[in-house]
C-alpha cells in the first residue's frame, strides 16, 4: 500500500503526515478502537463504494457493544467517506473509518477519554496476492484459537482483539502459508485472520455460524445472497477440522480478500488442487457486479459524489 495525500480527521481534511495520535492515547495503550474495512471499486461511471450502509451499520453496532459513541452523525460520516475518496483522487481504494479513544487516563476503563474519528483511504490490490484469485492460496490450520464467546465479542470489529488475528497471520507466514484458519474454542472451524471461510461439498456451500466466534462478514452475506441467486444451497453449521481436508473446494471472503480460492489446507490439496467450478461461478458474479459488468441488482454499490 502507499499513503494518500489526505486523511479525514475529526471533521476536517488534513495532510497524511499530520493525522497523528499522541503516544499516551488510550487506543495505543489498550487498543480501544472500532473500525471498518470498505472498498470502493472503479466503474465506468466513476468510483462506487461497496455495501456502504451495511458497513456503517456494523460500525455503529460495534461501537454500541464497546460503549463507544460515534462522535459524528451518520450522514456526516457518509459524506466524509465520499469527500476523502474524491480529495485523494481515487478511482478505487480501500477505506478505513476508525473511532478511537484519545488521552485522558491510563485507567483501563477509558470511557472518560475523548473520542476521535478518522477516515483513511489507500490504494489496495489483491490482499492475498495478485495470483491468488486464479491459482488459490495455501493455508494452514492455526494453533491459535478464536476467542470464547464470554471473553471478546467476535461479532464486533474492535481493534484490540485483532491481536489474535496477528498471531494467526504471523504463524501462517512463519510456516510458509499465505494465510491461517483458526478453530473456535470447541475445535470447530472459525475463520481466517481477517476473512470468513466457505467450503464446497457436492455442490453445496457450508460456512461456520455466528456461534463459531466469527465476524458477521458483509462479503459473507453477499456470497450467501449470490449463492441463493445461483440456486446453490448454503448451510451455516459447526464444521469439524477434518471437513477442511475433505472439501471439494474452499474459499475465503472479506472486504480485503474479496473471494479468494483456497488451494490446500495443511498441505492437503482440495479437489483438483485448482479453483473449483462453484467458487468460479460465485467469483464471476461478485466481480461482475463490483466491476460494473453485471447489473447491481442488490443495490450494493453507492456512487461517490461530492
Give me the phi and psi of 221, to 5 degrees please.
-60, -40
- How far is Cα 67 from Cα 36, in angstroms, rounded to an integer? 16
- How far is Cα 200 from Cα 197, in angstroms, rounded to an integer? 10
Catalytic residue among 3, 157, 201, 274: 157
Respond yes or no: is residue 274 known to be catalytic: no
Would you tell me the crossing angle of helices 52-66 and 218-229 to the nearest 10 degrees? 140
Q: Residue 272 burial (CB < 10 Å; 0-12/13-18/19+)?
A: exposed
**Dihedral sign (CA 124, 126, 128, 130):** negative
- How far is Cα 162 from Cα 198, in angstroms, rounded to an integer? 21
- How far is Cα 91 from Cα 94, in angstroms, rounded to an integer? 11
Q: Which residues, at least 6 apart from 218, have a Cβ–Cβ distance to it below 8 Å?
A: 51, 54, 55, 58, 255
CB atoms within 10 A of CB 132: 21
Chain centroid to CA 303: 21
Query: Nine-digit cell at 269?
Result: 490439496
- How far is Cα 32 from Cα 99, in angstroms, rounded to an integer? 9
Render 180-201 in DSSP notation, one character per residue.
EEEE-TTSBEEEESS-EEEEEE
- How far is Cα 22 from Cα 13, in angstroms, rounded to an integer? 18
Q: Does residue 42 contact residue 85 with C-beta atoms inside 8 Å?
A: no
Q: Which residues are catalytic?
A: 157
Amino acid at each position: 500500500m502507499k499513503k494518500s495525500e489526505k486523511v479525514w480527521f475529526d471533521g476536517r481534511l488534513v495532510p497524511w503526515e499530520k493525522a497523528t495520535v499522541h503516544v499516551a492515547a488510550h487506543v495505543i495503550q489498550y487498543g480501544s478502537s472500532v473500525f471498518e474495512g470498505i472498498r470502493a471499486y472503479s466503474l465506468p461511471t466513476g468510483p462506487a463504494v461497496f455495501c456502504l450502509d451495511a458497513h456503517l451499520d456494523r460500525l455503529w453496532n460495534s461501537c454500541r457493544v464497546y460503549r463507544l459513541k460515534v462522535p459524528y452523525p451518520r450522514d456526516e460520516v457518509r459524506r466524509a467517506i465520499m469527500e476523502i475518496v474524491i480529495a485523494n483522487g481515487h478511482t478505487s481504494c480501500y477505506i478505513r473509518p476508525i473511532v478511537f479513544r484519545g488521552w485522558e487516563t491510563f485507567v483501563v476503563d477509558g470511557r472518560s477519554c475523548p473520542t476521535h474519528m478518522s477516515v483513511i483511504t489507500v490504494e489496495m490490490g489483491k490482499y492475498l496476492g495478485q495470483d491468488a484469485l486464479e491459482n488459490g492460496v495455501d493455508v494452514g490450520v492455526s494453533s491459535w484459537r478464536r476467542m470464547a464467546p464470554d471473553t471478546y465479542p467476535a461479532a464486533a470489529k474492535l481493534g484490540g482483539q485483532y491481536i489474535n488475528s496477528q498471531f494467526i497471520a504471523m504463524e501462517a507466514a512463519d510456516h510458509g502459508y499465505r494465510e491461517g484458519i483458526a478453530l473456535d474454542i470447541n475445535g470447530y472451524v472459525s475463520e481466517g485472520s481477517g476473512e470468513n471461510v466457505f467450503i464446497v461439498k457436492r455442490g453445496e456451500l457450508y460456512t461456520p455460524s455466528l456461534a463459531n466466534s466469527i465476524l458477521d462478514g458483509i462479503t459473507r452475506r453477499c456470497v450467501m445472497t449470490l449463492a441463493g441467486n445461483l440456486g446453490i444451497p448454503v448451510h451455516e453449521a459447526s464444521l469439524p477440522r477434518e471437513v477442511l481436508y475433505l472439501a471439494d473446494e474452499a474459499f475465503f471472503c472479506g472486504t480485503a480478500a474479496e473471494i479468494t480460492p483456497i488451494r490446500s489446507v495443511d498441505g492437503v490439496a482440495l479437489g483438483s488442487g485448482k479453483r473449483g467450478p462453484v467458487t468460479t461461478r460465485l467469483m464471476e458474479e461478485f466481480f461482475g457486479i463490483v466491476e460494473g459488468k453485471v447489473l447491481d441488482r442488490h443495490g450494493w454499490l453507492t456512487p461517490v459524489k461530492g
